[in-house]
A and B are shown apart, each in its own frame.
Chain A
């Protein structure tokens, strides 16, 4: 569950100023072997690459599916380990990526989108039951929030927005359009709806940590002080790094959220490191570091799959583009 060799990072628009004297922080010489660099350096380089790409400020909160090979081209002149890892993902059948805005909320937004999308894509005879099961689990999450002392008025509007969106999958009310792939994308790019759902995910994450503090306490380090000796108090951690927008999620938050909502999540870590070390490691066949959070109930729904690059999460898909829909 611990972050392992990954740096604690967030992807807010303004990267943290370089900490002078931090071991491993330096500008990388051209041609240096990237795969041997410490994660902190890879993180910095990735941030620079993302800034160079000059994302316009109006980049969608969640975009259309794009080919994973297009993402690969962005790294073609950069980190070759990223390029190889993307090739491996494509070989494994992950053809598309749905990119999210790098605003620090990307994990929660990407997760929530994929969480609803998999219901939308569930085969017809099972879809209604799966939607009802999901709504039942969500109903229990309200109890969870109450148990840790949330006032109803701080969550009920957000909860209603989430439930309303999910109910649209099976809803046949004439005044409410049935949810389509396009409609889901529109909802997640409608800032108030999108943020309401994203914040509810933060609340559930926070409540799960607060209700079970002993499971999480040893892992709650202040991401702003990665070298601190003592973990943070769970309530403080939640107040500072879960309930506020713009604070990125790490393994702890993903574990808490998937536990509370009983969802399987697989995260493909494109960390720029080659795995399967040793003299026989072949960079072209080095496996992708998939981290699984197996907290789901039942196997009818496929796992939510996300793509992680240092400091950022996108939705990973087996489809290379969104289905054409008639309107």
Chain B
């Protein structure tokens, strides 16, 4: 079991989550669910999303699998880097993952990705990707989109 995750959980419980983030489920050290809101004047004002983190034994050396929850209650945000199945195309979750990133840091990065969005649209290859996507988004070889979007 990851000592690191225990420390992260203790930190989140003791000092609280960053603004707009809340821990919904962390009953074990395999799967956590966090809620995410983008505060302020953004295209996602008033929307609330759920993020699922799945950790394996080598976390934090390997990245967690992070995706938006898509079910009866939750939808993935409409964003050029977020597929309708909840998969996220972000380099920090793939080849630019670093163990300096924490669950909290990932949430803040995704918040700022949404906050800077200029136009709510799905990635151009959404339908093609979603019909073939692996269950684990880390198995996707992303061709990273323009970070400035």
Residue positions of A touching B, CB distance < 8 A? 150-151, 153-154, 157-158, 191-192, 195-196, 199, 203, 239-240, 243-246
Flag if B100 contacts A150 (CB, 8 Å). Answer: yes
- Give Cα A14 to B61, complex, Å: 20
- Give Cα A153 to B5, complex, Å: 9
Flag if A154 contacts B3 (CB, 8 Å). Answer: no
Flag if A246 contacts B95 (CB, 8 Å). Answer: yes
Flag if A243 contacts B4 (CB, 8 Å). Answer: no
Contacts of A192 in B (CB 8 A): 58, 61
Q: Which residue of A lies closest to B11 (CB)?
A: A153
Contacts of B60 in A (CB 8 A): 154
With A151-B102, A153-B8 as contacts: A244 and B58 at CB distance below 8 Å:
no
Contacts of B100 in A (CB 8 A): 150, 154, 203, 243
Let me know if B98 is at the binding interface, CB within 8 A. Answer: yes
CB A84 to nearest CB in B, in angstroms, measures 37
B contacts with A: majority SS: loop
Flag if A245 contacts B8 (CB, 8 Å). Answer: no
Flag if B61 contacts A196 (CB, 8 Å). Answer: yes
- Give Cα A191 to B98, complex, Å: 16
Flag if A154 contacts B102 (CB, 8 Å). Answer: yes
Flag if B102 contacts A153 (CB, 8 Å). Answer: yes
CB A105 to nearest CB in B, in angstroms, measures 11
Tally of contacts, chain A with chain B, CB under 8 A: 38
Flag if A157 contacts B61 (CB, 8 Å). Answer: no
Contacts of B58 in A (CB 8 A): 191-192, 195
Let me know if B96 is at the binding interface, CB within 8 A. Answer: yes
- Give Cα A246 to B7, complex, Å: 26
CB A279 to nearest CB in B, in angstroms, measures 47
- Counting chain B CB atoms within 10 Å of each CB, the highest count among A153, A199, A243, A246 belongs to A153
Q: Which residue of B lies closest to A12 (CB)?
A: B95
Task: Identify the 6 closest CB pairs spanning chains A and B, nearest first.
Answer: A243-B98, A153-B7, A244-B98, A195-B61, A154-B100, A244-B96
Q: List 25 A-B contacts (CB under 8 A).
A: A150-B100, A151-B102, A153-B8, A153-B11, A153-B102, A154-B4, A154-B99, A154-B100, A157-B3, A157-B4, A158-B99, A191-B58, A192-B58, A195-B61, A199-B61, A199-B99, A203-B100, A239-B98, A240-B96, A243-B98, A244-B95, A244-B97, A244-B98, A245-B97, A246-B95
Q: Which chain B residues numbered 78 to 104 have a C-beta less than 8 Å away from chain A?
A: 95-100, 102
CB A143 to nearest CB in B, in angstroms, measures 17
- Give Cα A240 to B147, complex, Å: 13
- Give Cα A243 to B96, complex, Å: 9
- Give Cα A239 to B8, complex, Å: 21
Contacts of B11 in A (CB 8 A): 153
Query: Can you name 17 extra interface pairs (CB under 8 A) apart from A158-B99, A199-B99, A239-B96?
Result: A151-B102, A153-B8, A153-B102, A154-B4, A154-B60, A154-B99, A154-B100, A157-B4, A191-B58, A195-B58, A195-B61, A196-B61, A239-B98, A243-B100, A244-B95, A244-B97, A245-B98
Q: Which chain B residues numbered 1 to 56 have a C-beta less than 8 Å away from chain A?
A: 3-4, 7-8, 11
- Counting chain B CB atoms within 10 Å of each CB, the highest count among A150, A158, A245 belongs to A245
With A192-B58, A245-B61 as contacts: A153 and B4 at CB distance below 8 Å:
yes
CB A206 to nearest CB in B, in angstroms, measures 8
Contacts of B8 in A (CB 8 A): 153
- Give Cα A239 to B99, complex, Å: 11
Q: Which residue of A lies closest to B8 (CB)?
A: A153
CB B35 to nearest CB in A, in angstroms, measures 22
Contacts of A239 in B (CB 8 A): 96, 98
Contacts of A196 in B (CB 8 A): 61
- Give Cα A37 to B66, complex, Å: 45
Q: Which residue of A lies closest to B57 (CB)?
A: A192
CB B120 to nearest CB in A, in angstroms, measures 28
- Counting chain A CB atoms within 10 Å of each CB, the highest count among B11, B95, B98 belongs to B98
- Give Cα A2 to B28, complex, Å: 48
Contacts of A191 in B (CB 8 A): 58
Q: Which residue of B lies closest to A246 (CB)?
A: B95
- Give Cα A151 to B104, complex, Å: 12
How does the 8 Å CB contact mask read for B89-125 relative to A, with 1 for contact and 0 for none?
A: 0000001111110100000000000000000000000
- Give Cα A150 to B3, complex, Å: 17
- Give Cα A243 to B100, complex, Å: 7
- Give Cα A154 to B98, complex, Å: 10
